[in-house]
Amino acid sequence: MAREIELKLELTPAAADALIKSDQFPAAPSVLRQRTVYFDTPARDLSGAGFQIRIREAGGLRIQTVKATGTETAGLFARPEWEQPIEDDSPVIDDTTPLRALLGAKAHEIGPAFEVHVERRTWNVTQNGTVIELVLDRGEIVAGERRTPVCEIELELKSGSPSDLFAFARRIDAIVPLKLGVLNKSERGYRLLGPAIRTVKAEPIALSLDMTAAAAFRHIAGACLRQFRLNEVLLDFNNAEALHQARVALRRLRSAFTIHKPMLEDGRFDHLRQELRWLASALGEARDLDVLIARSNGEEVRAKLEAARADAYDQARMALASPRARSLMFDLSEWLALGEWLMLPSGEEVREQPARDFAAMALDRFRRRVKRSGGDLADIDDSARHELRKDAKKLRYATEFFAALFDRKRQKRRHKKFLSALEALQDHLGALNDLATAPELLARLGLDNDPAAAALLEPGKNRAELIEEAAEAHDMFVDAKRFWR
């Protein structure tokens, strides 16, 4: 069994051509055409269990590889793998890998699922004494009648420091724009076997009881980055939900920063948090307009909103494609994997705390804050209610992040009720926030004097009714039993 560490990067075909023609490499690459067949059972037992098996043919040789899938953070892949040469396209299922024990009687059901055809260029590069293999793959993935193009770089650490892997990636990004890759070829192939994906919602985070608080944070933050990147590539003018989920991913990541702040405050923490705020705000105008257009009925006001939305989407795409946004993704991925916060003595006690203990204390802390701040909803001002809404959102995300650490039957039952009460409180606070921010939003769009536009943000109830309903929702939240205790 070997262990590989590699950084996956996506680029356009034009960027790949420019990189090949650049003078960044001391020697010509080796070039090899590869055909790779991925296998699974009809019920997808292997992918469901977190494994993949493939047979790669190149240069007259066939190599079978079995991998345990999974990522530590966006872009950076590290997983155990087993390799062996074989004679043909029939996979070998024996006791040298976990597959025989995993599949049992289903081993005979394994068959081809999809194929990957690429032209692979390989360079070996030395960066500050670190040896890095750069692989540029161009081709396509084929599953029956469906196919998707491949154009990506893999930087594999052969020896030396992982930080040099990121330094070299930035060096390439200065020549041609790169994006962090969060899907390997296997995942992309499996996607071809199902319906087309239009948006990616947050998935349950697989935390385990043997994790430290630091390990749990890295899994949570990595999942948020992955959700963001998966929606970023789907974002276009006709896909409002992908934009929404990209913003949700950023909000979740910012909340994870706040929840885990006691262990994270190193020299990069504040900068990264500020850059995340910038990126989220860069998508905010487009999202606000999507919401307004969904509510609009009149043709005249809808035409004005759609014109504004077209410009907002252009601005959002420019922000996402900017060097600043690309740099942020590299910085986040490197910081999660190698950041100073992982070594600071001041945060060691918190980092090494069992994830479940840390989660319980964090949930208690944010619950107290929401309980205390919402106790007099009718008497506090809009600004205070907005802060309460933000705290409730952080508590909701923490409730989702840590769910797997409290998985007994009673805890699951309480978790469902607690989350439901919290979501109801958020909805009511959101309606109050819309009422408070409506004048500013309409003024920003130049529609503050348009009665038809102003009607789009009418909540349907007066302020007093909304506050009363929010207060009732807060009472129900306070009565909900804590699932972590």
Tokens 């109050």 belong to 432
Predicted pLDDT of residue 461: 67
Average pLDDT score over residue span 185-207: 93
Q: Is the pLDDT of residue 380 over 60?
A: yes
Q: What is the mean pLDDT of the chain?
A: 91
Predicted pLDDT of residue 1: 41
Percentages of the chain per state (helix, strand, coil), in multiples of 5: 55, 20, 25
CA-based diameter of the chain, in Å? 77
Least confident of 10-14, 99-103, 434-438, 472-476: 434-438
Residues composing the chain: 485
Please state, in angstroms and rounded to a whole number, the distance separating the CA atoms of residues 358 and 398.
11
Please state, in angstroms and rounded to a whole number, the distance separating the CA atoms of residues 221 and 331.
13
Q: Is the pLDDT of residue 467 over 60?
A: yes
Binned at pLDDT 50, 70 and 90, residue 305 comes out as confident
Element (H, E) at 63: strand 61-68
- For helices 299-321 and 323-338, the axis angle rounded to 10 degrees is 60
- Percent of the chain whose pLDDT exceeds 70: 96
Q: What is the torsional sign of CA 255, 260, 261, 265?
A: negative
**Residues 6+ away with beta carbon under 8 Å from 472:** none
Please state, in angstroms and rounded to a whole number, the distance separating the CA atoms of residues 266 and 270.
8
Least confident of 92-96, 331-335, 415-419: 92-96
Q: Is the pLDDT of residue 13 over 70?
A: yes
Q: Is the pLDDT of residue 476 over 50?
A: yes
Rounded to the nearest 10°, the torsion over CA 112, 114, 117, 118 is -120
Q: Is the pLDDT of residue 382 over 90?
A: no
Q: Is the pLDDT of residue 209 over 90?
A: yes
Nearest-CA neighbor of 256 among 174, 332, 352, 146? 332
Per-residue pLDDT tens for 51-67?
Answer: 999 999 998 899 999 98
Cβ distance 480 to 396 under 8 Å? no
Average pLDDT score over residue span 312-328: 95
**DSSP bridge pairs for 86:** 62
Q: Is the pLDDT of residue 111 over 90?
A: yes
Q: Is the pLDDT of residue 247 over 60?
A: yes
**DSSP bridge pairs for 36:** 56, 116
Predicted pLDDT of residue 460: 63
**Residues 6+ away with beta carbon under 8 Å from 323:** 173, 177
**Residues 6+ away with beta carbon under 8 Å from 413:** none
**DSSP bridge pairs for 6:** 77, 156
Q: Is the pLDDT of residue 463 over 90?
A: no
More confident of the two residues 125 and 71: 125
Binned at pLDDT 50, 70 and 90, residue 72 comes out as very low
Q: Is the pLDDT of residue 448 over 90?
A: no
**Residues 6+ away with beta carbon under 8 Å from 464:** none
Nearest-CA neighbor of 60 among 23, 22, 86, 95? 86
Which tokens hold the place of 3? 């262990």
Please state, in angstroms and rounded to a whole number, the distance separating the CA atoms of residues 470 and 465.
9
Least confident of 128-142, 186-200, 245-259, 457-471: 457-471
Tokens 């590699």 belong to 6
